[in-house]
Chains A and B, each alone.
Chain A
């Protein structure tokens, strides 16, 4: 069994990070040049880490799957980024942001990590403003804040509906600065296919150049994985088409344990599915819930008529509408956390009150907001989102309510890391969505951007340096070492096996089947029977995949189908682990809802006695079951409570 040492520093909560920095090991400037770091991924965490490590003087190699580091999927985050600045003077503090994050995560994250996150959140805003990120401002010239789902204070900084884009472009500009300075070497259109371990430490990666098709080897003293989440295991998600879990999955198979794989966030406000050719789901920013009111018809007959197209939502009288979030959660109303809002929508639709032609949608109505604030204010706040909705659905949300439905959005689970963001493989670090760390069982809105940048700018540069301090005499690695030979051979064999399979079914067909299985059994609501069924079916689907998948083309040159095939092959394994984790966790918490564990009103029932731990799964080979390790969570600074969004007490 792996030993999970969280390495939490000494001192009170507020002192821990200061203590760590005060006592950590450093590398002198002349020696930094002699140390190489590979950073995989150029999203918020990856680009920020690569740039910051480069600034310090390390030799950095940075990899991305797209044609430019600027396209990483962090770019699609819309709403905002949290920080405990308390600019609006509404009672926010580092402690409160820490508290809200732990509580929002349903008490399944590590106190020390989350406190550090809240602590550095303020530095992030300073950093981004200095980089020229055009955050929204007041007429007085100071920064504007707004409130976001699950919070009682306004602590969210934003740049229209494109906050992720602006923060990523900020990190990208810092990265570009380091590329021009020569401290970072950029490798685009590369897909990491394996991790190379030498004498028990992570020392390199194997990539495929997706333009030439070459299999390449890269060596370094340490590797930082910032490859994002694995939401695309569901096929339909709000993730980008190229987002995948393969890099993380290779690390898992090389010995890094995987934390909380079942913890998946379902975002309540996405545009509903419209057909079976659909390739992805589009998110509508959660900020819409600030002014929009969510409802379904009170009467089932009305819902049925709407589904058949016989009735329009605008024809339903006010007293016949069920604003179910406001009804169930009077204190937070439409601003309850994402998991609560998503499940409530599913509950209504499953009960037959859903709208749209599929019955799998609820209304998000701006009628009252427009009456109260005027169309202009609404347009200023959400104009681009309304426009986007209209382009996709061909309906005008100023006149008729939007339709929304939950969709897979974010994975709280990921590679297990300690306080230093180091995995169980020495020298392998994981940052951003790729690690499991800070969000527990559920992530609050506007916290993903915060975590990605906190890891990249303010944690990784310290902890990687601490790790490298005793490596200064280790010379640059050559890539002709037997460990590289072996890893490349395994990659090559796998790719050739896929290419020579002579099957008859396309990769997407398998991916869609897997997605449906996952959505039905490992999605918003899970139960023992369904999860057992899912495990069985995923195994069968995996066998079918390897027997019958059809991958055209060759290893040489651009081969998109081959790229997809390697990812789906990994998803077919990852999906099973998610189901196993969900089956093991016999409680409902955050994004993980087990139907067996709920109150009569349908609220989640957590089991703190038996499940207040992080599941950390350890790979034992393809023919063996993975082993479950447990990192138990201790709450010394906050009282563990049942989440309650019905009353305003916190």
Chain B
């Protein structure tokens, strides 16, 4: 396959970026998208040009590190996958592929296609945990949990924190990410104990960081590589409402 790649190049966080076109030939349809990027970079280095910087790590769709916005879609033109799982057979010979970084105020560009997603960590640090320390824990089977709840919690917990929901949302809203964590814990008896405090703190942090508001377009759900459902957002809305209504002051 012969392709033209239109890639966002930006030397640093405070510098201006621009699109640069790179033709690439003899791409194997069996190769993954990132392997195609590897080949491009090898060619750029050979030519004495600077390789394209992009985030990636596990290359099996679970670490959540890869983050490209390809032809108008986070993680490219396939459903329920990350960029590292995207294969070139999804493109046609002669295609022009536009590759951009995630764009959101709380995800500033570091270089080229790498963005800073530490805002997600900040949200988790605000309350995305159950406050138990190591040791002194009752037996794991001491509290039975309905299978349905455990399964729904697992659905929510499968979030990989890649940020595709923010990237896809026209408002750069982080509601799907935040609600997935809120839901996971709200569904489990262990998490219920500090549920009210958690949801308020996490939402406050999300707002403070400058993510947009949810307008229920559900683009997040459509683009989530782990197919996390917007029912989690509704659950967070309920949890938040209950927390506010019942709050002491």
Query: Hey, which bits of chain A sit against chain B, CB under 8 A?
Result: 48, 51-52, 55, 66-71, 73, 75-76, 85, 87, 123, 125-143, 159-160, 162, 164-166, 169, 172-174, 176-177, 179-180, 186, 188, 211, 238, 240-242, 274-275, 277-280, 282-283, 387-388, 391-392, 394, 457-458, 461, 506, 508, 550, 552-553, 557-558, 560-561
Q: Is the CB of A180 within 8 A of B45?
A: no
Q: Is the CB of B30 within 8 A of A70?
A: no
> Knowing A139-B147, A506-B45, A558-B53 touch, does A179 contact B133 (C-beta < 8 A)?
no
Q: Which of B51, B120, B154 has the most CB of A within 10 A?
A: B154
> Which residue from A75, A131, A238, A557 sits with its C-beta under 8 Å from B63?
A75
> Which residue from B46, B126, B153 sits with its C-beta under 8 Å from A506?
B46
B140 interface hit (Cβ, 8 Å): yes
Considering the chains assembled together, what is the distance between the CA atoms of A332 and B150 in angstroms? 32
Q: Is the CB of B134 within 8 A of A52?
A: yes
Considering the chains assembled together, what is the distance between the CA atoms of A280 and B61 in angstroms? 12
Residues of B within 8 A of A388 (CB): 60-61, 85
> Which residue from A68, A134, A162, A560 sits with its C-beta under 8 Å from B121?
A68
Q: Which of A73, A87, A133, A275 has the most CB of B within 10 A?
A: A133
Q: Is the CB of A126 within 8 A of B185?
A: no
27 A-B interface contacts by CB (under 8 A): A68-B120, A68-B121, A68-B161, A70-B121, A73-B57, A76-B58, A76-B60, A76-B63, A126-B137, A130-B138, A131-B132, A132-B184, A132-B185, A133-B157, A134-B151, A137-B150, A142-B141, A173-B124, A177-B129, A211-B116, A241-B57, A279-B35, A282-B59, A394-B87, A552-B48, A557-B12, A558-B114
Considering the chains assembled together, what is the distance between the CA atoms of A130 and B129 in angstroms? 10
B106 interface hit (Cβ, 8 Å): no
> Which residue from B38, B78, B137, B144 sits with its C-beta under 8 Å from A130?
B137
Residues of A within 8 A of B127 (CB): 180
> Which residue from A67, A127, A132, A278 sits with its C-beta under 8 Å from B188?
A132
Closest to A165 in B: B62
Residues of A within 8 A of B121 (CB): 68-70, 176, 186, 188
Q: Is the CB of B141 within 8 A of A143?
A: yes
B179 interface hit (Cβ, 8 Å): no
Q: A278-B31, A282-B60 are in contact. List 17 more A-B contacts (CB 8 A).
A: A69-B121, A129-B140, A129-B190, A130-B190, A131-B130, A134-B188, A137-B147, A174-B132, A176-B129, A240-B59, A241-B58, A280-B59, A387-B80, A457-B134, A508-B38, A550-B45, A560-B51
Q: Is the CB of A132 within 8 A of B63?
A: no
Q: Is the CB of A159 within 8 A of B154?
A: yes
Considering the chains assembled together, what is the distance between the CA atoms of A391 and B61 in angstroms? 11
Q: Is the CB of B128 within 8 A of A173?
A: yes
Give, as a whole number of angstroms, the nearest-CB distance from B223 to chain A: 16
> Which residue from B38, B51, B58, B60 sits with its C-beta under 8 Å from A552?
B51
Residues of A within 8 A of B95 (CB): none
Considering the chains assembled together, what is the distance between the CA atoms of A55 and B130 in angstroms? 14
Q: Is the CB of B62 within 8 A of A76?
A: yes
> Knowing A126-B137, A134-B150 touch, does A277 contact B31 (C-beta < 8 A)?
yes
Q: Is the CB of B134 within 8 A of A461?
A: yes
6 A-B pairs with least C-beta separation: A141-B144, A173-B129, A134-B154, A134-B153, A126-B137, A129-B140
Q: Is the CB of B158 within 8 A of A162?
A: yes
B105 interface hit (Cβ, 8 Å): no
Q: Is the CB of B145 within 8 A of A137?
A: yes
> Knowing A127-B137, A132-B130, A173-B130 touch, does A278 contact B35 (C-beta < 8 A)?
yes
Residues of B within 8 A of A165 (CB): 62, 158, 160
Residues of A within 8 A of B138 (CB): 126, 130
Give, as a whole number of angstroms, the nearest-CB distance from B25 to chain A: 13
Considering the chains assembled together, what is the distance between the CA atoms of A240 and B55 in angstroms? 12
B34 interface hit (Cβ, 8 Å): yes
Instruction: Give a binary string over B26-64; 1 marks a CB under 8 Å from any A CB, 0 the rest.
Output: 001011101100110010011011110101111111111
B118 interface hit (Cβ, 8 Å): yes
Q: Is the CB of B144 within 8 A of A275?
A: no
Instruction: Give a binary string over B131-175; 1 marks a CB under 8 Å from any A CB, 0 the rest.
Output: 111110111110111110011011001101100000000000000
Residues of B within 8 A of A140 (CB): 144
> Which residue from B124, B146, B153 sits with its C-beta under 8 Å from A176?
B124
Considering the chains assembled together, what is the distance between the CA atoms of A173 and B154 in angstroms? 15
Residues of A within 8 A of B134 (CB): 48, 51-52, 55, 127, 174, 457-458, 461
Residues of A within 8 A of B11 (CB): 557
Q: Is the CB of B85 within 8 A of A392?
A: yes
> Which residue from B48, B51, B157, B185 sits with its C-beta under 8 Å from A166?
B157
> Which residue from A242, A508, A558 sits with its C-beta under 8 Å from B111?
A558
> Which residue from B30, B128, B147, B185 sits with its C-beta under 8 Å from A141?
B147
Considering the chains assembled together, what is the distance between the CA atoms of A188 and B119 in angstroms? 13
Residues of A within 8 A of B64 (CB): 70-71
> Which residue from A73, A278, A457, A561 sits with its C-beta under 8 Å from B51?
A561
Q: Is the CB of A138 within 8 A of B147?
A: yes
Q: Is the CB of B57 within 8 A of A66?
A: yes
Give, as a whole number of angstroms, the nearest-CB distance from A348 to chain B: 24
Considering the chains assembled together, what is the distance between the CA atoms of A515 and B54 in angstroms? 23
Give, as a whole number of angstroms, the nearest-CB distance from B72 to chain A: 20
Considering the chains assembled together, what is the distance between the CA atoms of A279 and B57 in angstroms? 11
Closest to B61 in A: A388
Q: Is the CB of A188 within 8 A of B118?
A: yes
Residues of B within 8 A of A48 (CB): 134
Residues of B within 8 A of A130 (CB): 130, 132, 137-138, 190
Considering the chains assembled together, what is the distance between the CA atoms of A85 and B39 in angstroms? 49
Considering the chains assembled together, what is the distance between the CA atoms of A274 and B38 in angstroms? 16
Q: Which of A48, A70, A132, A391 has the most CB of B within 10 A?
A: A132
Considering the chains assembled together, what is the distance between the CA atoms of A129 and B59 in angstroms? 28
Q: Is the CB of A71 within 8 A of B45?
A: no
Q: Is the CB of B154 within 8 A of A177?
A: no
Q: Is the CB of A557 within 8 A of B111?
A: yes
Give, as a whole number of angstroms, the nearest-CB distance from B14 to chain A: 11
Closest to A180 in B: B125
Residues of A within 8 A of B118 (CB): 67-68, 188
Q: Is the CB of B81 within 8 A of A391?
A: yes
B89 interface hit (Cβ, 8 Å): yes
B176 interface hit (Cβ, 8 Å): no
Residues of A within 8 A of B5 (CB): none
> Which residue from A68, A283, A461 sits with its C-beta under 8 Å from B60?
A283
Closest to B139 in A: A126
B210 interface hit (Cβ, 8 Å): no
Closest to B134 in A: A52
Q: Is the CB of A391 within 8 A of B87?
A: yes
Give, as a whole number of angstroms, the nearest-CB distance from B106 to chain A: 13
